[in-house]
Amino acid sequence: MNKGLAAVILAAGKGTRMKSALPKVLHPICGQPMLYYPLDAAQKAGFKQLKVVVGHRAEQVTEAFPDKDLTWINQTEQLGTGHALMCAAESLRGYSGPLLLHCGDVPLLRPETLEQLKSYHSQQQAAVTVLTAQMPNPHGYGRIIRDGEQILEIVEEKDASEEQRQVTEINAGTYLFDADFVLSALKGLNKNNSQGEYYLTDIVAAAVAAGKKTRALCVEDPTEVMGINDRCQLAEAEVLMRWKINADLMFGGVSMVDPTTVYIDNGVEIGSDTTLHPNVHLLGKTSIGKNCIVETGVVVVDSDVAEGSHLKAGSAIEESSIGVNCKVGPMAHIRPGTILTGNNKIGNFVETKKSVLGNKSQASHLTYIGDSEVGENVNFGCGTITCNYDGVNKHKTTVEDDVFVGSDCQFVAPVTIGRNSLIAAGSTITKDVPADSLALSRTEQKIIEGWRLRKQKKS
């Protein structure tokens, strides 16, 4: 068995109220599946052995976390939270000390709160310490029945008396147990309740009966322990998490004109003195450097944008790298595999894909650059198109340094344009162009004088 404190995370439930083919714990919140957050919080709070109980679509859940160091436990039939822990008992054999039990559908709980629970539990030397909250509307949660500091029992909503339902202190579903005690007490759980399930919450009364100490730690902010059961709660949790992400970034020196309309995934990094305008989406593994401006309607996915760059309104950037001091957009589409080396200008209605543009190269208007290697100081005129696809294969266009391309040119790939050459406007380039030359391929202009007048007289 590996070393470190152990935690069991429950994630076997179907999440019926989500009305979804996707398991509840895989619904995304700020770019990560819901279950990511409880796992992350437990790890950050020092629980190194994580045992995750899965059942409903177990394989799909497991596959969503390929790189985490986790032990997966199968609960083939979901007979309740107590039963879920029974399923994990085998893998905890020989473990003693504090055991965390946390739920996969409680994404907002902070690692700091788990740390607090851990120290309170050990300081009190309790057998069970329950995380609780005061909920203005406690409907649906288990209620905490106290005798001073000692918790006598947890009563589920469905089993509670009218009087017990008035209690506003609720069970968050997160506990610290003395492992030896809970693993032996589990054997005494039964299904004599309104839902016919093994309730983990019955452990509290069992501890009291065994003469043990039971304690509760009440969180200050009840939203932290909010459980997600339906899509309204999912949206609510996302709003809260988004606000926290934005607030952290603002405290770190990022300006947001209207933070309520800025959508940033968990883990996105942004440098100081960068300004985000309304309706900006920064998603996936993305980083934005210092002193950038991101205008309204910009969507950046899995990309890095370096210091001093300006992303103008309505631009979309995916799986690309934008160097320092670039200007992109408005309405530019930077598709996967684009590398703007630095000081580049990509203007309106320009699309790039799988292409490298050297320092200071630019395409200011209405252009497609795909599968290309472009040197430094290259200027693409309005309406340049790399014809990279012949219907079967993709081909490469190479444009060397200091090339000037006139408006409305096509490069039929594979083709190479040598350095410092000039491509005349309206040319279709099908053959390589040597360095320092002029390439021009257009039919000569013909003039028939008086043609229009003669036509008009006839009719």
Q: Which residues bind Ca ion (CB under 5 A)?
A: 227
Distances 256 to 69, 291, 317 between C-alpha atoms, Å: 36, 13, 20
Q: CB 305 → ligand UD1: shortest distance, Å?
A: 37
What's the start-to-end Cα distance of the chain, in Å? 98
Question: Does 154 help bind ligand UD1 (rule: CB under 6 A)?
Answer: yes
Nearest to 1 by CA among 97, 136, 143, 116: 97
Q: Is 449 helix (H, G, I), strand (E, B) or coil?
A: coil
- Choose among Ca ion, ligand UD1, none what residue 344 binds, the Cβ cut-off being 5 to 8 Å by kind: none
Q: CB 352 → ligand UD1: shortest distance, Å?
A: 44
- Choose among Ca ion, ligand UD1, none what residue 199 binds, the Cβ cut-off being 5 to 8 Å by kind: ligand UD1
Does residue 27 carry a catalytic annotation? no
Residues 325-354 that bind ligand UD1 (CB under 6 A): none
Residue 227 or 406: the one with the smaller Cβ distance to Ca ion is: 227
| N residues, the chain | 459
Which residue of the chain is nearest ligand UD1 when measured via CB? 142
Distances 459 to 247, 364, 450, 455, 456 between C-alpha atoms, Å: 74, 45, 15, 7, 6
Distances 99 to 89, 107, 130, 198, 274 between C-alpha atoms, Å: 11, 19, 12, 19, 43
Q: CB 150 → Ca ion: shortest distance, Å?
A: 25
Question: Does 10 help bind ligand UD1 (rule: CB under 6 A)?
Answer: yes
x/- contact string, 112-141, with ligand UD1 (CB under 6 A)? Answer: -----------------------------x
- Choose among ligand UD1, Ca ion, none what residue 376 binds, the Cβ cut-off being 5 to 8 Å by kind: none
- Choose among Ca ion, ligand UD1, none what residue 83 binds, the Cβ cut-off being 5 to 8 Å by kind: ligand UD1
Residues 79-98 that bind ligand UD1 (CB under 6 A): 79-81, 83-84
The strand order across the sheet containing 321-324 reads: 269-270, 287-288, 304-305, 321-324, 339-342, 356-357, 372-374, 397-399, 415-417
Distances 400 to 370, 378, 380, 408, 436 between C-alpha atoms, Å: 15, 8, 12, 19, 11
Question: Does 142 help bind ligand UD1 (rule: CB under 6 A)?
Answer: yes
Q: Are 243 and 173 in contact (CB under 8 A)?
A: no
Residues 387-426 that bind ligand UD1 (CB under 6 A): none
Residue 195 or 260: the one with the smaller Cβ distance to ligand UD1 is: 195
Residue 138 or 271: the one with the smaller Cβ distance to Ca ion is: 138
Report how far residue 6's alpha carbon sits from residue 88's, in angstroms, rounded to the nearest whole number: 11
Q: How many other CB atoms are there within 10 angstroms of residue 362's CB atom?
A: 20
Residues that bind ligand UD1 (CB under 6 A): 10-13, 53, 75, 78-81, 83-84, 103-105, 141-142, 154, 156, 170-173, 199-201, 227
Active site members: 365
